[in-house]
Chain A
Amino acid sequence: MIKTFKKVLVSLILGLVTICVFGEYRQVFAQSSHLFRTYKHEVPQKLPETPEAIAEGKKTYEKRCWYCHGIEGGGDGPASKTMFPKPRNFTRNEYKVRSTNFGSVPTDEDLFRIITSGIEGTAMPFWSTITETERWQVIYYIKTFNEQFKKESAPKVVSVGSVASTPESLKRGQELFKEMKCFECHGEDGRGNGPLTVALQTEWSMPYRARDLTKAWNFKGGNTIEDIYRTISTGFNETPMGSYLDKLSDEDRWHIAHFVKDLSNDMASDVVVKVKLFEGDQLPSEPLDENWNKATPVEIPIAGQIIAAPRHWMPSVDAIMIRALYNKDEIAFFVEWDDSTNKQEEIFRDAVALQFPTKIPESLKKPYFAMGDSSGAVNLWSWKAYWHEGFGQIVEAPEQEPGTVSELNAKGFKSVITQPTESQNITGKGIYQNGRWKVVFKRTLKTEDAKRDIQFEIGKLIPIAFAVWDGSNSDVSGQKSVSSWYYISLEKSVPKTVFVYVLIAVVMGASVELWFVARLRRFPPKFEEE
């Protein structure tokens, strides 16, 4: 008897485990949100600053640092030509992340933190990979580039207190953001689009961009509340970001820091953009439509196009957010990205493009992600900001002008063809608002031109890729920010039959269980008495 029980039990449990694991297996793969590194605050015990340490530091510097920072520390190393922001010039005191007063040099610990953590959004990598000794040595060598380090032996360190984040604090912070004219550079919504930003240049003709405060991942020197407070207090040397140590009380600086922290967001990225079934007659066709909130946003990191010459080493857009909805006839995409200005020129215009394969791939092979190839064509949906005639003019795209959409096909960079007028099926509209472009694309799920147009199918993984142009950054054609392939998936609605299945399963589960227990009671396992 016991043997039968054993068999039944083993098969039952095995079945359960299999079901359990397959349920798990079907979970959608989500991209890790840990794309960006964090600023590390801990600093170990310092080494003595001896001539030997400096000499050792020189060796490390000339092995690892000089390619960007220059052999004499001038920030003009040979590799700096493919970089923006440019590497730090150590002969000047343009140190940004400091715990010291504005205009002072940073402490050794400040430098240690930066070297250990690197700076996100720039070419500066994290050097936690070299020993602490090497890091201290290289710091002592870097300090020799600037005399100021010798004069200020013990720079004053700004103290850090703390104020809790409350609704009142946020409100006060918002008022101060206005009062202190933070918005003049950082913009009203903090997107780095203030009126001064575009015009700002230092006397060395280096353009400085105000930080986009909504992108937490790009904050220099960390994005914790203490880091933001420190930046507001100490400012960034040799940039328009001054110190507010004397202009604001300690408490007020905390209020602003809380407000800035509240403005900032982490990048919520994913590999699959889920396209929800929209319940309503008409899909939203306006960028400002409230219904877009019903779609799940996915933010996608993008980088300069460096696949084919002319390569774009210094892109100004690093992320694009996408949402999508569909109904039984149509599909609509809503893309947003930050751009500090909507200034346009005849050639250099703000634009965005969505890229799909012309046919949903049946195998794992997709067309080449950079505009397809001879074996796989792509369908491009392009939107360009409105530009009015007037050669050489630089104008802002008027708000009431929706821009122009067009549909193209490509089989590689060199063979791009605009579709004939009768095959242009997409509609679209863009609007620039507070430092952010918002663009809607719309098309029917199926078209008559199945050869050139992507035909959307429910439940399939459809590759999608993105490109963004920033006219004010002289982006045009190949000079653009791009992504690799992502996917969209038109979600099926949950059929009512699912609940019937569940009910059947529960009943079956319960009856198997009852049968099992009943049998067990009838033939209880016997104990062999010793």
Chain B
Amino acid sequence: MAYKRRKFLLIWVITAAICLFLFLKYVSPKVFQVLMAKGHPMPTPSTLMMWYMIMGVLAGLVYATTSNQKFADFLGFLLPDSGPKIKILLQKLLFVGFPVIVGWFVYTWSIPGAASPVELRIQHPTLPQEFEKLDNPFRQADAETQRKCIEEGKILFQTYCRPCHGSKADGNGPFANSFRLRPINFQDPGTIATVVDNYLFWRIKEGGPGLPTESTPWDSAMPSWKDDLKDDEIWKIIMGEYDTAGVMPRQREKLE
């Protein structure tokens, strides 16, 4: 198979890298906005961007070095010869552009900028022992009682939890914007659907202040309800909460 000369290979590789950068920076946030049905663009995280860029550039280099001819063409672009005008223009551009870009990065790197706060949300700290043993007294009741409990729980949920967690238990209540660590979206299958009733009982009763200290930073704004809600009310809220969110608690594994 004869090798087809590509005298502009270097330019193509650079263009591809720039396109990748532009895609990650501007197109992908929009794409994910549509895919994830969000009301705002979803910017690519900078570390992810770094890895994609490294992989993209390496892929370009791998491609350029697949044969010696190709690599000769790749570098040959920088050699002086009587190419078309555009080639000479691009050569000059590359020649001037490289030091300028290096200078620019050093500048942005060395000007003092405000550090970004690091705030992590670590989910699911371990349920304390004393809550492990509890049982929701209403889960075993007859269907009629359960229905009643769910309804009472929903009323309590709508009264006390709704301002933050929202009418739909989607974490979009009218107060939600004010808490940087946003209230949890219970409809998300990764939240309450992965835990048992007891876990919610612990979280509602003890709230953010009751989180174990060894796992800080907890920036949770979840209030502790132990002084204001009775245990029965909390169990009911939990049932109403699952019903409102449209998910089921994790089922305990039965030991044979």
Is A486 a contact of B105 with CB atoms below 8 Å? no
Looking at the complex, which of A122-130, A222-230, A341-349, A426-434 is the stretch in contact with chain B? A122-130
> Is B195 part of the binding interface, using a Cβ–Cβ cutoff of 8 Å?
no
C-alpha spacing A281/B181, complex, angstroms: 39
Q: How near does chain B come to A485, taking the closest CB pair, in angstroms?
A: 7
What is the minimal beta-carbon distance from A70 to any residue of chain B, in angstroms?
12
> Do B155 and A19 have beta carbons less than 8 Å apart?
no
A280: Cβ under 8 A from any B Cβ? no
Among B40, B110, B174, the one with the most A-chain Cβ atoms within 10 Å of its Cβ is B174
Asked whether A274 is an interface residue with its Cβ less than 8 Å from the other chain, the reply is yes
* A residues near B179, Cβ cutoff 8 Å: 303, 484
Q: Is the CB of A301 within 8 A of B78?
A: no
- Decide if B99 touches A506 in the complex (CB within 8 Å): yes
- A1-9, A170-178, A323-331, A394-402 - interface stretch: A1-9
A383 within 8 A of B: no
Interface residue tally on B, bucketed by range: 35 or more
Write out the residue numbers on chain A whose beta carbons fall within 8 Å of the beta carbon of B163.
82, 123, 303-304, 306, 313
Interchain CB contact under 8 A, A520 and B68: no
Q: By the criterion CB–CB under 8 Å, are A364 and B177 in contact?
A: no
Closest to B81 in A: A524
Name the CB-closest residue of B to A269.
Answer: B177
Within 8 A of B (CB), among A255-279: 271-272, 274
A378 vs B172: C-alpha distance in the bound complex, in angstroms? 29
Judge if A48 is at the interface, Cβ distance under 8 Å: no
- List of A residues within 8 angstroms of B205 by Cβ: none
**B50-58, B127-135, B230-238: which lies at the interface:** B50-58
Contact at A484–B174, with CB atoms within 8 Å?
no
Q: What chain B residues lie within 8 Å of A13 (beta carbons)? A: 57, 61
Taking residues whose C-beta sits less than 8 angstroms from the other chain, chain A's interface range is 35 or more
| Contact of B102 with A82 in the complex, beta carbons under 8 Å | no
Most buried by A among B53, B110, B166: B110
Q: Name B159's closest neighbour in chain A (CB-CB).
A: A79
Closest partner residue, chain A, to B166 (CB atom): A125
Interface flag for B89 (CB, 8 Å): no
Q: Mark A20-35, 1 if CB is under 8 A from B, else 0.
A: 1111111111001011
Contact B177 A129, beta carbon cutoff 8 Å:
no
- Whether the Cβ atoms of B110 and A501 lie closer than 8 Å is yes
Chain B's nearest CB lies how many Å from the CB of A108?
22
Q: What's the least CB distance linking B105 to chain A, in Å?
A: 4
Decide if A510 is an interface residue (CB 8 Å cutoff).
yes
**Contact residue among B114, B118, B167 (Cβ-Cβ distance under 8 Å from A64):** B167
Please tell me which one of the listed residues A5, A28, A129, A487 contacts residue B170 in the complex, with CB atoms under 8 A apart. Answer: A129
Query: Which residues on B sit within 8 Å (CB–CB) of A274?
Result: 114
A509-B3 in contact (CB<8A): no
Query: B117: CB under 8 A from chain A?
Result: yes
Chain B positions within 8 Å of A316 at CB level: none
Report Cα–Cα, A412/B69, bound state, in Å: 72
A303–B177 contact, CB under 8 A? yes
Task: Report yes or no: A494 in contact with B111, Cβ–Cβ below 8 A.
Answer: yes
Contact with A along B45-86 (1 / 0, CB 8 A): 011011001100100010001001101100110111000000
A139 in contact (CB, < 8 A): no
- Across the interface, which residues of B come within 8 angstroms of A28, CB to CB? 113-116
Q: A501-B106, A505-B103, A525-B76 are in contact. Are A82 and B228 (CB under 8 A)?
A: no
Which residue of chain A lies nearest to B75 when distances are taken between CB atoms in the complex? A525
- Within 8 Å by CB of A520, from B39, B75, B168, lies B75
Known contacts A19-B105, A527-B72, A35 near B78 by CB under 8 Å: no
On whether the beta carbons of B219 and A369 are closer than 8 Å, the reply is: yes
B205-225 to A contact mask, C-beta < 8 Å, 1/0: 001110001001101010110
Give Cα A252–Cα B39 distance, bound, in whole angstroms. Answer: 34
Q: Please measure, in the bound complex, the distance between the C-alpha atom of A10 and the C-alpha atom of B73, giving whole angstroms.
A: 16
Q: Does A37 contact B (CB under 8 A)?
A: yes
Q: Is the CB of A365 within 8 A of B49?
A: no
Confirm or deny: A388 has a beta carbon within 8 angstroms of a beta carbon on chain B. no
Residues of A near B53 (CB, < 8 A) are 17, 20-21
B35 adjacent to chain A (CB < 8 Å): no
A64 to B61, CA, bound (A): 58
Q: Is A366 an interface residue (CB 8 A)?
A: yes
* Residues in A492-511 with C-beta less than 8 Å from chain B: 492-495, 498, 501-510
Q: Is B190 in the interface zone, CB < 8 Å from A?
A: no
Q: Is A246 an interface residue (CB 8 A)?
A: no
Cα A328 to Cα B111 in complex, Å, equals 20
Cα–Cα, bound, A272→B180 (Å): 12
- The docked-state distance in angstroms from the alpha carbon of A364 to that of B119 is 7
Interface residues in A120-140 by Cβ distance below 8 A to B read 121-123, 125-126, 129
A151 within 8 Å of B (CB atoms): no
Given contacts A19-B109, A274-B114, contact A309 B228 (CB under 8 A): yes
Inside 8 A of A524's CB, which chain B residues have their CB? 76, 79
B160 at the A interface (CB under 8 A): yes
Look across to chain B and name the residue whose beta carbon is closest to the beta carbon of A374.
Answer: B209
A residues near B120, Cβ cutoff 8 Å: 364
What is the CB-to-nearest-CB distance from B236 to chain A, in angstroms, rounded to a whole number?
Answer: 13
**Which of A308, A493, A506, A521 is the one whose CB lies under 8 Å from B103?**
A506
State which residues 276-334 of A face B: CB under 8 Å.
301-304, 306-309, 311, 313
Q: Is A483 an interface residue when CB atoms closer than 8 A count as contact? A: yes
CB of A517 within 8 Å of the partner chain: yes
Interface string of A377-417 (1 = CB under 8 A from B): 00000000000000000000000000000000000000000
Interface residues of A in 96-128 (CB under 8 A from B): 121-123, 125-126
Q: Are B221 and A484 in contact (CB under 8 A)?
A: yes
Bound-complex Cα distance A494 to B69 (A): 48
Task: Tell whether A530 is near chain B: CB-to-CB under 8 Å.
Answer: yes
- A129 vs B169: C-alpha distance when bound (angstroms): 12
Q: Which of B152-190 contact A (CB under 8 A)?
A: 154-155, 158-160, 162-164, 166-168, 170, 172-175, 177-181
Cα distance A28–B109 in the bound complex, in angstroms: 13
Contact B159 A129 (CB under 8 A): no
Q: Could you pull out 8 A-B pairs where Cβ atoms are within 8 angstroms?
A: A6-B65, A36-B177, A67-B167, A366-B219, A494-B111, A495-B112, A508-B102, A510-B98
The 8 closest A-B pairs by CB, nearest first: A34-B40, A509-B102, A303-B178, A79-B158, A525-B72, A492-B112, A303-B175, A21-B50
Q: Please give 14 more A-B residue pairs, beta carbons under 8 A apart, in addition to A68-B158, A364-B216.
A: A2-B75, A18-B50, A32-B40, A64-B168, A272-B116, A274-B114, A301-B177, A303-B164, A307-B208, A307-B221, A311-B223, A364-B217, A509-B102, A520-B79
